[in-house]
Amino acid sequence: MTPELAPEEPLPRRLGRYVLEKLIGRGGMGLVYLARQDELDRHVVVKIVKADLAKDNPELVGRLRREARALGRVSSDHVVMVHEVGIDAGVPYIAMEYVDGVSAAALVKKEGRLPHSEATRIVIGTARGLAAAHAVGVLHRDVKPGNILVGRDGRVKLADFGLARLCDGAPDETALTGAGDMLGTPEFMAPENAEPGILDERSDVYSLGVTYYALLAGRVPFTAQGVMATLRKVLLEPVVPPSRHAPDVPPDVEAVCLRLMARDKRSRPRDAGAALALLTGQIPAVAPMPVDEVDQATVLVKDAQERREASRWLDKAERHLDEGFPGAAEMALENARQLQPDPERLGVLARRRFMRSRVPRGMNCLELDRSRAVALYVSIEPLELPPAEAEARARSRGERLPTASELEAIRRLRDVPANGFLTVKDPPPG
C-alpha cells in the first residue's frame, strides 16, 4: 500500500544497516525511503537529509535530530517508533518504524469523507499518541491527516515529529525559518500561531480538532493563499459546522469536534489527555474546561492581530494619499475597516480621501492641518478683473475669500504671487 515515487537522483543503495528499496516521500527536509534491515528481517522507513542540503542548511540536520529526540521520549503504541539516528557517507538519516498502510489524508482523498465512527476511531488513536507526547513534554505542532498513519490491521499511529518542540527550556529553533516564515500547515494551525511564543498543548488540541473536522467533512474549515491569510480566516470567520458538509454527523460528535477547535484556547481541553477524555465520553462536550489564569492575555490574540494588520493598511492608505493615489488609498482604507483600526486615525485618513476625491475643477486640495484633516480647496488665478468683480464671480461658483488665519496658513504652504487672486472653497461636510 506504500506508493513509490520517481527518484530525484541516485543514492547509495545502503545507508548504515539499511538497504534502500524505494522512494515513498519527499519534503522540505529531504527524502523518505522504504528500506529493509536484513539483520532483523523487517522493513523500516528511512528519512534522510541529502548531503548537499545538510551542508548548506545545518538547521535541517538539527530538525532531524530533534525529531529523533522527540520520538525517543515518547513511548506509545500510537506513535511511530524511532530505531536509529546516524550519518553515512555524509548523509544524515533517521530510521523509524514502518507502518504498512496509508495516511488518514489518503483515506479522505479516496473516500471524500469518512463515516463518523471511523473518523472518531482514528482521532481517538491519534489523541492517545498525542497524550503520550504531552505527558513527557513534547508538542507535536503539525498534527494533521497527512501525519496520521492507519495500518492494514487498523492500527493508528501519529508520525512526523519534525516540528516537535521539547518543553525543556531550550530555545525554540523550529518556530520560524530564517526568513521569519512560520513552519507548519496553515489550515491546521491554531489561532494563537498569530502571536509568537504562546503555543502550548492546547495548540496541538486545536490541530487535532481540525483533523477531526477534515475526516468528518472531507474538507478543512478554512483555507486561503498563504499562512497569514489563512490565520486571518481562522481568527475572524465563523466555523461552518461539519454537519453542513456531512448531514449524518451526530450532534454529540459535532459538539466534541467544535470544542477541540475552539477559537479561545481556554475553552479547549488543556492537553491531549483531556481531549481523549472528551472524545471517549468520559466528560461531556459542554462541560467547562479548567482555565489557567496565566493565559488571560491570550484572549487578546485576535484583537492584537487585527489591530496590527489594520495599522499596516492605514500606513498604506496614508502613503497612497501622500503620493496622490486616492483610489489605492480607498482600497487600503476599506481593508482596514474590516479589521480593528484606530478610529481617530481612520477618520482623519477617510476625510483626506474624501476631500481628494471631491476637488472642484481648477482648484487644489490644500491640507492646512493633516493631523485633523482640515483642508480647503484653493484657487490662485491672475487678477484680470477689478477685485470686486472677481470676488462676485468667485462667489457665484460657491467660492469665497480666505480669512486672515486661512490666508496665513495657505502662505506657509504655497507661494501666492503678488498679482494672484486667491479664493477658497470649503469641502462638503462628512
Q: Give the residue numbers annotated as catalytic, written as ranges.
A: 142
Kindly calculate the radius of gyration of the chain based on its CA atoms and give it in whole angstroms. Answer: 31
Closest Cα to residue 80, out of 90, 72, 91, 88?
72
Grid coordinates of 173: 529553533
In the sheet that holds 82-88, the strands lie side by side as 14-15, 18-26, 31-37, 42-48, 91-97, 82-88
Residues β-bridged to residue 158: 79, 148
Closest Cα to residue 373, out of 338, 329, 340, 308?
329
In whole angstroms, give the CA distance from residue 194 to residue 204. Answer: 15
CA 176 from chain centre, in angstroms, equals: 12
Grid coordinates of 1: 500500500
CB distance 427 to 355 below 8 Å:
yes
Which residue shows C-alpha cell 494672484?
A: 420
CB distance 218 to 108 below 8 Å:
yes
CB distance 108 to 171 below 8 Å:
no
122-161: string of b/e by CB count within 10 Å (b at 16+)?
bbbbbbbbbbbbbbeebbbbbbbbbbbbbeeeeebbbbbb
Grid coordinates of 112: 471524500
Residues β-bridged to residue 102: 150
CB distance 253 to 116 below 8 Å:
yes
